Structure formats: C-alpha cells, structure tokens
Structure 1
Amino acid sequence: MKFSTAIKIAGFFCFLGMLLPACSTETRQEAGSEFEQFATWVDQNAKRAETATEEEWNEMQAEYTRRSTELESKSADWDDKTKAEWEKLRTQWTETEGKAETRFRDADAAVEGDTI
C-alpha cells in the first residue's frame, strides 16, 4: 500500500513538472502575440499620423503611451530579437512624433502668417 501511494505521489509531481515549462512557453507566446499586435498598431498609426488632426494625434499619443507602458512591463520575458524589435519600434514612433509635431508647428506658423 505504501509503495502504490509513493508511486502516485511521484507521478503527480512528475506531471506538475511537465506542466511548468508549458506555462512558461504559453506566457512567452502570449507576450509575442501582444508585441506583434502593438507593432502592427505602430505601423498603421505612423502612416495615419501623416494626415491626422491634432486631436487625433493626441489620442494616438495617449494610446501609444498606454500600450507601450503595458507591454514594457512584460519585457522581462522577451528574447533578444524581441528587445531589438522593441527598440526599432520606439525609434519609429519617435520619428513619427517629430514629423507630426513639425507638421503642426508649420501649420500654426502658416496660420499666424496669414493673420498678420
């Protein structure tokens, strides 16, 4: 009786040991999926920012900040490739910010020039 109980307990712990790596892989896949969704969002909105109104741009900025903060909190699970892609996305968004802000500044300057 003791032998069968010991076998059952050992089997249970082996089973749990097999589940842990599966959970870790699932977490990494989920993080990768969220990252891919964010990368797609950045690409789409970087293009959209070229013609967005200032109000739309402010909404995009708020959404970018929210999503990037949420994603970055999970960056400990990322591999080196994902971390490098993250840096590219941040650079892409920074360039988009610069272009949008320049466009809005130029538009404001043109309006001021017309009113003088």
Structure 2
Amino acid sequence: QLQWDTLLTQFKHRYASYLTAQLNEWQARQQSLQEHRKITTTQRTQIEHLAQIIRAMDPQTVLQRGYAIVHHKGDLVKSPSQLREGDDIELRLAEGTLSATLSQLKEP
C-alpha cells in the first residue's frame, strides 16, 4: 500500500504541474480570444458608424431628401453669382435630370 501511495503521489506531482500549465495556457488563450472579440466588436461598431456617415454624405441620399445639384457648362454651381439670366443649367434630382434656362436671378 505504501508503494502504491508513493507512486500515486509522484504521479500527482508530475502531472499536476503539467495539467496546471495546460490549464494556464488554455485560460490565456481564452482571455486572448475575449480580447480579440472585444476588439472585433469595437472595430465593427466603428465601421458601422463610418458607413452611416458615408451614406449620409452620399449625394444620392441628399437628393432623396429633395435637394438638387445644379450644373452650368459642366461646372457645379455653388453660388448664384456664377450664373447670369439666360444661362442654361442642368438640375440633377433624385430620379432624373432637368434642363432649364435661367429666366431670373433673385437675391437671397
């Protein structure tokens, strides 16, 4: 019985340190995976936020809200001072384009 107890104790000591090391390695991997998951979730949130900003700034989204993009001779019109009465302009809308001749300029 004494020999058996001695062998069992030796076995426990040898494999206890091995199993402890394995357990520590497994826990470290688990923690690493949790950290990666947290990073991935943060990155996913950042990407979704950036996608929302990009969609909001998309000219087509702006046009869907009822705005128009005005061009004169291929140039983007940003100010009425770029135009004169009689100029041909092009208005890009959400669902198509209109051509028009400017008949009157009004001051804001």
Using structure 2 for the length normalisation, give the TM-score: 0.44
Using structure 1 for the length normalisation, give the TM-score: 0.42
Which of 1 and 2 has greater Rg?
A: 2
Normalized per residue, the structure richer in helix is 1
Normalized per residue, the structure richer in strand is 2
> Whose relative contact order is higher, 1 or 2, with alpha carbons under 8 Å and at least 6 apart?
1
